[in-house]
Structure formats: C-alpha cells, structure tokens
C-alpha cells in the first residue's frame, strides 16, 4: 500500500543540542495554553456564576479544539514548509488567547477556548520536525528530550496559572500567555531551519491518507487507543483537582492547585529515560508497563487521596505513568512509516486528545455525581480499556526476542 509522501532529508540539517533545547522550550510554552484553565476552573465558575460541570466544559472544548487542529493542520507538515505553518499558528493562537481574556459570558468563553485548542498545535508540528532532523539511532532520545519540555510545560502551566490567578486574576493569565506566543514566534523564526518539501501532495490527499494509515497499521491503532485512555484518565484527575482541593479537608485555592504541577514535574523527568528505553526495548511493552504505573496511581489516590502525602504520591505516579506511556507510544509510531510522520502523529494525537476531552467530561460528571471515589473509579476504568487496546484493534504484543530479531 502506498501513501502520499514527501522526500526524506534526515541528516541533511544538523540537529544540535541547542536546537533541541529550543524545540523543547517552544513545546512547553505553547502547549501550556491548553492547561491554564484547569487550576482556574473554580475561579471561572465563580466569575460566571456557573456550575462545576459548566466550568469544566472550558477544558473539554479546549481539548476538542486541539484534536480538530491536529486533524486540520498537522498533516500539512508532510507537504508544506513547517516553519511557516508554525509561525502562522502562533499568531492565530495569540488572538484566541486575547479573546479568552476578554470573554464576557460563557458562550464567548467556550468559543474562544475552542479556538485556543484549535490553534495550539505547534508542539505536534515541532516533535516530528525534530524527529525528521535527528539521526535514526537517536530518534527515541530526541523525542524524549523534546517531549520533556512539552510535559514540563503541561505541568508547570497549572502552577503558573495558579499563582497568576491568585495574585492578579484568571484573565491576566491569558494575556500573559498571548505575550509568550509573540516572543516565541520571533525566536522560532530566527532559529528553526526552513526546509522546503520536495513534494506538494494535495491537502485532500493528505487527509484521505489518514484513514488509509489507520486501517493498514494495527500498531498505530493500538498506540492511539492506549494513549487516548491514558490521557483521558490524566484529564479525569486534573479537571477535578481544583474542585476537590476547594472542599474539606483541604479548603485550598487555585494557587495550591497549581503547585501540584510542580509535584508532577518529578514524573515528567522520566521522559528522556522513556525515550532511551524505547530505543532498546519493545515500545509496546514499555508503554504498557508505564500504563500499569498510571493504574497504580489511581489506587493510591482513591485510598490515600484524603491525606496530602497520599495525594502527592498519587500525582507523581500519575504523571510518571502517563508521560512514560506517551514517549513509548510516539517513539513506536514514528518508526512505522518515516515519510508520513506528521500524519501518523495526527492520527495518534487526535485520538489522544479526544480521549483527553472525554476524560474531562467524565471527570466533571463523576465528581458532580459520585465525588472523589467516582473520579478514581473513572480513571481506573479508562486505564483498563487502554491496557486491553491490543485486543480491541487486533494488534499483538511482541516478545523481546522478536523485537531484537528485527
């Protein structure tokens, strides 16, 4: 089966440690736009006199928008100059962030939040860009290093938003982020190499090939479903955390909710290690080992989450498991079809963030209906589905001996 493709230029452009660092920082700063709302949901709820469920829709729509942006924009990286696309997206998301900051009602906020998600797909343009520039033997390590910046950005976004929300106002966080995006656009314009593709595959053909890739590659389907359920469980927890911490026995505000992002950084530090493991071991097996860690985190949160130390341990295990699963999955899919990395990433990340939006909705509903125990059970249920993904999509778990023989 053939797919619309572009010529590979791996190794033609040097990927220095400095450029990897810039890419990692760019991923972290840009992806943070998706997560500023989570520790601020309680403040947003009060500002608009909304229910917890209505406020939680902000996170859901942001992630749905991100999934749509992945589908519409990321495939363009296989047939268009990537740097130009990245810069245009950064300008667009700047405007969307300003719209969130000036939202006057929930409908306005919902539309603007969806637009933020739609245009915050720069990280998923940068990761395959870095893989494209890396040598084959270092791709797992490069993915891990770039993703470590992305994952730290996800976690510290909550910390920064919590502090800004407490010191200023929840709207101020979005204005500050808009400024970040403009600075980032200038830096990336100066530092990223311009690589013109040798093929100009029509946009319609790029989108059409997404279905073909999904149909023909069971490992892609397996990784996508596992990732979606893992991130869905992650979103179940983080969507509810600010609500949970505002109730007995904690009575904490947005600032403390944001501090849990710093706790989660300890788990995110596994990213480079996970990338190296994916270079040496079957990525499908390592992804499931990390997913089991995520399952264990919800057990800890359920039984010990009423104590601060139990909540901290649970958060560390949660972020470690989810990030390790993500790195293993991405290292795996990038090896499936080198000339279609952006489209493989599109299929994977669209599914991933649809899982995240599902998790946000389930988390808000579980919290409103069943409280903390329901939230933990919802997370566990999603993880179990992910662990059994290979049975659902028809893929096989490879043995270590078989992987080494390839």
Q: What is the DSSP string of 189-221?
A: HHHS-----S----HHHHHHHHHHHHHH-HHHH
Ranges of beta strands (E only) in 300-400 are: none
Amino acid 405: pLDDT: 35
Task: List pLDDT tens digits, range 105-145.
Answer: 999 999 999 999 999 999 988 888 887 777 766 766 777 77
What's the CA angle centered on 330, arms 115 and 155, to 5 degrees? 55
Per DSSP, 337 falls in state -
Amino acid 396: pLDDT: 63
295 burial class (0-12, 13-18, 19+ CB within 10 angstroms)? buried
Please give the mean pLDDT across all residues of the chain.
83
As a whole number of angstroms, the distance between CA 142 and CA 210 comes to 25
Mark the ranges of the chain whose per-residue pLDDT is less than 50.
1-2, 5-12, 398-406
Helix H, strand E, coil C: the string for 75-95 is: HHHHCCCHHHHHHHHHHHHHH
Give the torsion through C-alpha atoms of 66, 69, 70, 75, to 10 deg. Answer: -170
Q: Which two tokens stand for residue 7?
A: 């010529």
Q: Is the peptide bond before 249 cis (omega within 30 degrees of 0)?
A: yes
208: Cβ–Cβ under 8 A, 6 or more apart, which residues?
none
- The answer to whether 262 and 156 are in contact (CB under 8 A) is yes
- The answer to whether 60 and 357 are in contact (CB under 8 A) is yes
Amino acid 278: pLDDT: 62
As a whole number of angstroms, the distance between CA 167 and CA 36 comes to 15
Q: Residue 89: which of 114, 112, 119, 54 has the closest Cα?
A: 119
Amino acid 180: pLDDT: 96
Residue with tokens 């469980």: 233
Amino acid 336: pLDDT: 83
Query: What's the whole-model pTM score?
Result: 0.75
Amino acid 59: pLDDT: 84
**DSSP code per residue over 15-68:** --HHHHHHHHHHHHHHHGGGTTTGGGHHHHHHHTT--HHHHHHHHHHHHHHHHH
Give the architecture (CATH level 2) of 17-192+200-405.
Up-down Bundle (1.20)
Q: Could you state, in order of their start, the residue ranges of all structural domains in the chain?
A: 17-192+200-405
As a whole number of angstroms, the distance between CA 44 and CA 37 comes to 8
């Amino acid at each position: 089966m053939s797919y619309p493709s572009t010529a590979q230029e791996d190794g033609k452009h040097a990927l220095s440690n400095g450029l990897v660092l810039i890419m990692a920082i760019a991923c972290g700063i840009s992806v943070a736009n998706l997560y500023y709302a989570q520790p601020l949901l309680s403040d947003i709820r009060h500002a608009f006199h909304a229910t917890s469920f209505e406020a939680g829709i902000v996170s859901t729509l942001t992630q749905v928008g991100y999934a749509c942006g992945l589908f519409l924009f990321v495939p363009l990286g296989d047939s268009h100059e990537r740097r130009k696309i990245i810069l245009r997206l950064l300008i667009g998301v700047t405007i969307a962030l300003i719209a969130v900051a000036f939202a006057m009602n929930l409908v306005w906020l919902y539309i603007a939040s969806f637009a933020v998600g739609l245009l915050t797909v720069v990280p998923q343009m940068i990761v395959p860009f870095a893989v494209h520039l890396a040598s084959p033997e270092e791709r797992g390590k490069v993915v891990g290093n770039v993703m470590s910046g992305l994952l730290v950005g996800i976690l510290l976004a909550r910390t920064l938003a919590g502090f800004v929300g407490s010191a200023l106002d929840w709207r101020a966080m979005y204005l500050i982020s808009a400024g970040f995006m403009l600075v980032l656009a200038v830096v990336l314009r100066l530092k990223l190499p311009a690589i013109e593709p040798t093929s100009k595959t029509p946009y319609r053909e790029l989108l059409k090939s997404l279905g073909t890739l999904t149909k023909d590659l069971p490992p892609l389907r397996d990784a996508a479903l596992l990732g979606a359920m893992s991130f869905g469980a992650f979103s179940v927890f983080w969507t509810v955390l600010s609500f949970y911490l505002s109730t007995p026995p904690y009575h904490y505000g947005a600032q403390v909710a944001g501090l849990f992002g710093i706790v989660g950084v300890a788990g995110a530090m596994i990213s480079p290690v996970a990338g190296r493991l994916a270079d040496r071991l079957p990525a499908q097996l390592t992804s499931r080992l990390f997913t089991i860690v995520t399952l264990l985190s919800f057990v800890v949160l359920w039984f010990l989450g009423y104590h601060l130390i139990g909540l901290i341990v649970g958060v560390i295990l949660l972020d470690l498991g989810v990030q390790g699963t993500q790195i293993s999955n991405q290292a795996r899919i990038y090896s499936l079809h080198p000339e279609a990395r952006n489209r493989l990433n599109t299929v994977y990340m669209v599914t991933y963030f649809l899982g995240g939006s599902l998790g946000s909705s389930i988390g808000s509903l579980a919290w409103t209906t069943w409280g903390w125990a329901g939230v933990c059970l919802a997370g566990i249920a999603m993880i179990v589905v992910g662990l059994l993904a290979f049975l659902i999509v028809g893929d096989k778990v490879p043995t270590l001996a078989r992987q080494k023989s390839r």
